[in-house]
Structure 1
Amino acid sequence: MRSTTSISRPLHRCCSGGLRWRALHKLTKGFLVFFTRRSILKAVLAALPAHCAARDLGQLASPAQGTVPVDGARAFLADQVRLLPGSPFYVRQELHRNGVLASYDPDKLLYPYRALAKLPQKEGVESGYDGWDNGFLRGHMAGHYLSAAARMAVATDSRLFRDRVNYLVGELAACQRSLNLDGYLAAFSTAAFDQLEGKPGADAGGIGAPYYTIQKIMSGLLDAHAYVGNKQALVVVTRMADYFGKRLAALDAAQIDRMFRTDGNRNPPNEFGAMSDVLTELFKIGKDPRHLAAARLFNRAWFVGPLAEGEDRLGSLHANTHIAQAVGLANYANAHGNPEALKASENFWRLVVHRHSFANGGNSFNEWFDQPGTEAGPSIDDRKVLPPTTGETCNTHNMLKLTARLFERNRRAELADYYERALYNHVLASVAPDSGAVTYFTPLHGDFRTYLNGSFCCSGSGIENTARYNEGIYFHKDASLWVNLYIPSELSWREAGMLLRQQGDITRGDAVRLSVVKAGASAVTLNLRIPAWVAKPVTVRINDKPQGVDAKPASYLSFRRQWKAGDVIELTLPAGLRLEQARDVSSMVAIFHGPVLLAGELGKDNMPASDVGDKDAFLKVAAAPVPDIVSASGNPADWLAPLPGDPSAFRIKDAGPANGIVVRPLFDLHHQRYSVYWRLRKDT
C-alpha cells in the first residue's frame, strides 16, 4: 500500500505536463485490494493539489465530501418495451425496420474504416456513403447505425439487425487490430487529432470535429454491448477509451482548454459531442475510475460554472454542440454526485426549455441559440422571422436524452410533459409517414420540410430516433413504476415479474387502458402521469370500479397494491383546444389539441417537384404567406370546427383571412407548406 505522500508526488510532477494516464492506472491498481474503484477515484482526487485536480481532471470542483452517485429511477429500454399497433410511433418504426434502416449496406458503412486500415473491401463495394460520412464527419454513420440497429434488434425481435450489429462489431474490431495503434479506431487518421492538438505541420485532411465522430462510434459499440450482448464491442470501445485517455493525459491544461473551448465559433470545428456521456457509461459498466476521470475532462469550467449559477449565456452558441455537452454533464453528475454538475445540467434544461424553445419543443435558428426569449421575432439568422432553419432534429434528439437523465434523479411531471411535447411534435414530426425519410430542420411558418438525401448528422440521429421510441415511456425504481407516455406498448418488467400492456391512442381521443397480463409476487406502486394539458377532470377506473381521485395537471396519480393478472386500469385524459403565445410576440400563437401541435395546410404553390435534397437545398425558396386569424375570441374552440371523420383535425371558421384552412397534427402533415404559428388579431 502506498502512502498518501507517495501518491501525491508523482501526480504533482505530472501537473506540469498533464496527468499521466499510466501513472493514474498504476496508482489505482495499487489500491484495489483496499478500496472500491469509486473510492479510488475519490482518494486520488483528494491527494491531488487543488490546482492540479481542477486543471487536469476536467475543471469541475472536487466533489464535496460525502456526496454519492444519484440513486435514481431508470428508464425501461428497448429490450423490455415493445410498441403495439395503434399509434403513429408504431407506423414510423415499422417504416424504418422494413425500409430506411434495413436499406443501409453494412459494407458501405465499413468502407472508410477498411480503407484506413488497409483491409480489402467486400466484392462489389467500391465506395462508402456520399456526403458528410465521406467528408468532415467520416465514419459517423457506422456509429449511428450500430445504436439504431442494436435497439431495433431487441425492440422488434429482429434477427436481421442482430446479425448486422454483430457483423459490424467484428469488422470494426478487425480494423482496430490492423491499425495497431494502441486501441485507436476511426475512419480517419490520427492526424486529425494532431491538428486539433496544435502539432506543427499536422494536416487533418478535411476532417472536422474528430471527437464528435469518435463519440458516435463509441456510443454505437456500447449500445451493441448493452442491447445485443456483444462482448467484443465492449473490448473494442474500452481500448478506444484507453487510447484517448492516454492521448489527453499527455497534454497540458492550456492545450486541453484550447481544444475544448467551443464558445468562440458558431460552428465549432472542435465540437466533441457527448464524450463525457460515453465515458461515464463505460465507467458505469466497468467501474474503472480512469474513465470517469476522462469524462470529467469534457465538462469545461467556462460552460459549467455559469450554468450552475443559473446564468443564461447560451445566445450565439452552436446549439447541438452544447446540448450534447449537457447530456454528458447530466450523466456524469448522476454517476458521480458532483453538486455543481447536478445544478448546471438542471439549469441548462430549464433555460433551453423555457427561454430558447419553440412551441414544438425544438430549438435553434440555423443551428444556433438566439438571445433568451427569442421565438417569433427577428432572429439570429439574418434577422429573419421564423425562417426555414428552425429546429434542428439532432438538438431535440439530445434534449430527450438530457430530459431522461434528469428524470432519473427527480421524477417531476414537468420533465415528462416536455418529453412528450418534443417527442410528438418534433422528433415524430421529422419522419415522413409515407417513406420514413428524415429531416434536418423543421420549419414552422409558411415553409415546407426538406427530406435528406445524404449522410448528415440528422440522418444519423434520424435513424436512431425511431428505434428509441420505446424508451422514455416507462421508468422504474425499486417497486415503483412511472408511466410517463401514453403510447400503445407492452412492458416486460422482468425484475418484478410483471407484464403490462398499454392501449389507446390519446392523439385521437382514446382512453388509456393498462392491462396486467402477468403479475409479480410483490406489491407495485403504479404512478400515472397526469399531463399539464388535461382540459377537464380525469377519471380512473380499476376493474371497472370508479376511483375517487383528485388529479391535478402536471402531477402523478399513484396506486399501490398487489396487482393480479387480469387487472385493468382505465384512464381518461380529456384533451381540449388551447393557444400558446410566443414569448416575444404576444400576437403570435400556436394551436394545440391536448399534447398535439396543430399545423395549417397551406398547399404546394412554388414547391419543387421533389422535396428530397441537401439540407440547405430549398432554403431560398420564398415562404408562403400565412393569413391572420381574426377573431375577438382567444378560445380556439370558437373558431375551429371538427373535421368529420378525423378526430385530430379541424377547419378554421369565422376567422377572417384564415377561413377554410384545415389544421391537423404537425406529425401528420408532410409534403406541403404549413404553419404552426399564426398572428391572432382581434375582430374590430
Structure 2
Amino acid sequence: MSNKTRREFLSQSAAALAAASLRPASLLAKDTPAPTPLLQFDYAQVQLLDGPLLDQFQQNHALFLHLDEDSILKPFRQLTGQPAPGEDMGGWYSPSKDFDPPKNMTGYVPGHTFGQYLSGLSRAYAITRDPATQQKVHRLVVGFAPTAISAFYRNYCLPAYTFDKTNCGLIDAHQFAADPAAFDVLNKATDAVLPWLPEKALDREEMAARPHPNIAYTWDESYTLPENFYLAYTRGAGDRYRQLARRFLQDDTYFNPLAEGNNVLPGQHAYSHVNALNSAMQAYFVDGSQHHLTAARNGFQYVLDQSFATGGWGPNETFQKPDTDGLADSLTHTHSSFETPCGAYGHFKIARNLMRATGESTYGDSMEAILYNTILGARPIRPDGITFYYSDYNQNAVKSDYEQAWPCCSGTFPQLTADYGISSYLRSPNGIYVNLYVPSRVSWKQGVASAALTQQTLYPNANETSLNLQLDRSERFTIALRIPAWAGPATKVLINGRSADLHPQPGTWLKIDRTWKNADRIELSFDMPLRLTPLDKRHPDLVALMRGPVALFAIQPAPQKISKQALLSARRASASSTDWLVATDGEPLLMKPFPAITTERYRLYQQT
C-alpha cells in the first residue's frame, strides 16, 4: 500500500469517526452502562471437577503451555524483517509462497491465532494460578512487542481479523495474567494496524467491491472489532478504544436491519456474524444502547431458528435462507455442517451475554445443546496443530480433522474450554444461578457469608445432579436452577433428602429462596422423555432422536426409513451405557451421542 493510500485511509477514518458522533439518538450510545439482572463470576471463582469439561480444559492448557515460544512469534518476526529463530508451525500460521486461495490455504493468515493462544493461557492462569502459565504470558507479550509495527500488515490479507485476536490476547494478558506491559504493547499494535483498516466496518460484498490482489482480501472481518475494542476501554486501555468500537459497529448493513426485525443472515459467513452479535452486546453493556440489544436478540433468534437438533448451525459456514431446502440439501451435499470450536465459542459468548442482559434461562438450553452434541465430541488438538474443525451431519457422516495445521478453530478451542466455568454459573445480588449441570465448584461472598456450591453429576448420561452448600454462617438467598424447556412433568427437586413444595416449570428458572445453612443439599432429577425433533417445518418426517439435551446418532448401517414409534421406543443398551438400541426388522439399530462416536459412520436425521 502506498503512503498516499495510507494517508487517504487515515483521512477517511477521521471522517468516519466524526460521522459516528452524529448518529441518530436511537443508535448513539447513552454513555451509561446498562444494568444487567445477572453477572458473571470471575474465572478464579469456578473450578471444574473431574469430568469431560475438565479433561478438555487441561488438554488445551498443557498443549499451549508447552508450545515453543519462538515458533509462536516467528511469523511476526519474519514479516517485520527481524531475526526469527524457531521451527515453522506450518499450516495457516506460517508465511508460505504456496498460498493461493482458495486452492491452497497454506500460509493463509500468518500469526492469526497468536492472540487467542495468549488469551487462552491468560484465562487458564486466572483459573489455575499456575506461575509457569503467567510467566509464559509475560514472555510472549515482551517477545511480541518489537513486532507490533505497521510493516507486519504490508501485503497481509486479513489485518482486522488478526488484530482483533491480538487485541483480545493483550487485554486478557492485562486483565487475567496481570501483565504490566500489555496495554503499552496494545497501543503500539493499534497504531500499527490502523492505517490498514477500512474507514468503517465492511461486509464481504463491500470488501469484494474494493481492489484486492486475491479473494482472501475480501474475507476480512472488520465487523467483529467492536467487541474487543469495548472490552479494552472497560478494562482501562483508554477512551480511544471506545471511539474505535463505535466506529466499527456494523449498523448500516447488519445491526440496524436486525433491530428492525429483518433477517439479513442468509448468505452470510456463519461464525463471524454470530461472533459480531457480541459487539452489539458490548454496545449495550458499555453504552446502554437498547437498539443494539434488540439487534443481538433478534439476530441470535434467527440463528436458533435455523439450527440443527444438535444446536449447530451454518453448513459450509453459511446461513441458509428460511423456508427453503437449504438445511435439508446440506445433509447430502456437504460434510462441513458446523464449524465446531469457533461456532461453539461464539455461541457460548452470545448466549451468556444475552442471559446476563435479559435474565432468560432458555439461552442456557442452547448452550448445553452445543456442549453435549458438538464441542465435547471434538477431538483434541494434536501437537502438530491438526485440529477438529467441522461437525458432520451428512446422511453418511464421519468424524475427521482439518487438513491444514493451526486453523482458526485451534485458537477458539482453548478460549472456549477456559470459559466453561464462567458459563456454568451466574450471579445476582440475591443469589446464584445454576446454568450448566457439570461437575464443578463455585465460591462467592453472599451477604456476610462465605459460600461455596459443589456440584456432583454424571449429567446428561444420568438424569440427576447433586448440589452441596458450604457456608461459614447461615444466610438467606436464592439458588436458581435452570429447568430446560424439554424437561418432562416428573422433574423434581429434593432439599436435604426431602420433597420440597416446588413446581419446576420447563423453560424457566426454579428460584429457591430460603435461609440456607452449611451442608444443605439440593438434588435435582430431570424427566428426560425421548422426543423427535424435525429438521425444520418443511421436512417434518426427517427427525433426530433426542433424550434431554442429547441428540442420538444412528450408527451405520442404518435402515433407509424407520418409524417414529420405533425411535420413541428406543431402549438403553445397559443401565450405565450411553448407547441406545432401536428395534428394526433386522439387527437392532445402535445409536450414540456425539462424544461417544470415534471412527464409526453415523447419521443424525432419520427418515420416517
Select between 429-438 and 495-504 the one with higher mean Cα deviation.
429-438
Comparing 507-516 and 428-437, the one that deviates more: 428-437
For structure 1, which segment, 555-564 or 370-379, has the greater mean C-alpha deviation from structure 2 after superposition? 370-379
Partner of 1:340: 291
Alignment-derived partner of residue 544 in structure 2: 590
Deviations 1:72-113 (A, max 9, x none): 12222432211101x321232333344x43452222111112
Q: Deviations over 1:424-466 (max 9, x none)?
A: 2122222359999742111113121222350111122123332
What aligned pairs does 1:291-330 form with structure 2 within 5 A after superposition?
A: 291-300=241-250, 301-330=252-281
Deviations 1:268-324 (A, max 9, x none): 423236211000101111284432221012212111111011111211111123222
Which moves more between the two structures, 305-314 or 282-291?
282-291
Q: Could you tell me which residue of structure 1 aligns to residue 460 of structure 2? A: 507
Aligned mates of 1:279, 1:521 — CA distance in 2: 42
Q: How does 1:113-124 map onto structure 2 within 5 Å?
A: 113-122=76-85
Distance 2:114 2:381 in 1: 25
Aligned-residue RMSD, C-alpha: 3.1
Q: Describe how 1:530-679 pairs up with structure 2 within 5 A.
A: 530-583=483-536, 584-602=538-556, 627-631=559-563, 633-634=564-565, 636-638=567-569, 640-653=570-583, 655-656=584-585, 659-679=587-607
Inter-partner Cα distance in structure 2 for 1:215 and 1:415: 26
Confirm or deny that 1:416 pairs with 2:348.
no
Contact 1:376 1:588 in 2 (8 A): no
Q: Size of the alignment, in residue pairs? A: 573
- Counterpart of 1:235 in structure 2 is 184
Q: Give the equivalent residue in structure 1 for 2:376.
A: 428
Q: Do the aligned partners of 1:92 and 1:433 also contact (CA within 8 Å) in 2?
A: no
Matched, 1:282 2:224: no
1:473 is the counterpart of 2:421:
no
| Contact 2:161–2:221 under 8 Å retained in 1 | yes
Letter in 2 for 1:292: R
Pairwise CA distance, 1:336? 0.9
Distance 1:575 1:595 in 2: 9
SS for the counterpart of 1:500 is: strand
The aligned counterpart of 2:335 is: 388
Q: Which whole-Å CA distance do the structure 2 matches of 1:316 and 1:310 have between them?
A: 17
Q: Which amino acid aligns with 1:83?
A: L
Of residues 124, 127, 130, the one that matches 2:88 is 127
Distance 1:58 1:173 in 2: 36
Query: What amino acid does structure 1 have at the position aligned with 2:48?
Result: L
Counterpart amino acid of 1:443? D
Letter in 2 for 1:280: Y
> Which sections of structure 1, spanning at least 5 residues, go unmatched?
1-13, 22-51, 192-203, 603-624
- Report the CA distance shift for 1:477/1:105 in structure 2 as closer, same or farther (over 3 A): same
1:495/1:153 Cα in 2 relative to 1: closer, same or farther (>3 Å)?
A: farther
Task: Name the larger-Rg structure.
Answer: 1
Instruction: Evaluate the alpha carbon distance shift between residue 102 and residue 571 of structure 1 in structure 2; reply closer, same or farther with a 3 A threshold.
Output: same
Task: Tell me if the contact between 1:397 and 1:427 (Cα under 8 Å) persists in the aligned partners.
Answer: no
Distance 2:61 2:467 in 1: 26
Structure 1 residue 167 corresponds to structure 2 residue 139: yes
Q: Are 1:61 and 1:340, in contact at CA under 8 Å, matched by a contact in 2?
A: no
Could you state the TM-score of these two structures normalised by the residue count of structure 2? 0.86
Quote how far apart the aligned CAs of 1:243 are: 5.4
Q: Find the counterpart in structure 2 of residue 153 from structure 1.
A: 125
1:626-679 CA-to-partner distances (Å, cap 9, x unmatched) read 533422x447332x12102534221121x347x422112112212221111111
The answer to whether the 8 Å contact 1:273/1:324 transfers is no
Q: Does the residue aligned with 2:546 lie in a helix, a strand or coil?
A: strand
Cα separation, 1, equivalents of 2:74 and 2:477: 50
Residue 202 of structure 2 is matched in structure 1 by: 260
Which residue, out of 483, 487, 500, partners 2:438? 487
Say which SS state the counterpart of residue 517 (structure 1) adopts.
strand
CA distance in 2, matches of 1:145, 1:669: 28
Q: TM-score, normalised by structure 1?
A: 0.77
* C-alpha distance after superposition, 1:357-387 (max 9, x if no partner): 11111111211111124577554x6xx6362
- Please tell me whether the aligned partners of residues 375 and 582 of structure 1 are also in contact (alpha carbons under 8 angstroms): no
> Equivalent residue for 1:7?
none
Deviation at residue 64 of structure 1 after TM alignment: 6.7
CA distance in 1 between counterparts of 2:82 and 2:9 reads 40
1:107 paired to 2:70: yes
- The answer to whether the Cα contact below 8 Å between 1:275 and 1:295 also exists between their aligned partners in 2 is yes
**Aligned counterpart for 1:70 among listed residues 3, 16, 34:** 34
- 1:433, 1:648 → 2: CA distance? 24
- Quick one: distance in 1 between partners of 2:87 and 2:416? 29
| CA distance in structure 2 between the aligned counterparts of 1:536 and 1:601, rounded to whole angstroms | 31
Question: What SS does the aligned partner of 2:494 have?
Answer: strand
- Please say if residues 326 and 345 of structure 1, whose CA atoms lie closer than 8 Å, have aligned partners that are also in contact: yes
* C-alpha distance in 2 between matches for 1:495 and 1:328: 31
Partner of 1:607: none
**Corresponding residue number in structure 1 for 2:347:** 399
Alpha-carbon distance in structure 2 between the residues aligned to 1:543 and 1:318:
49
Greater displacement, 76-85 / 60-69: 60-69
Gap change, CA 1:371 and 1:533, over 3 Å in 2: same
Percent identical pairs in the alignment equals 25
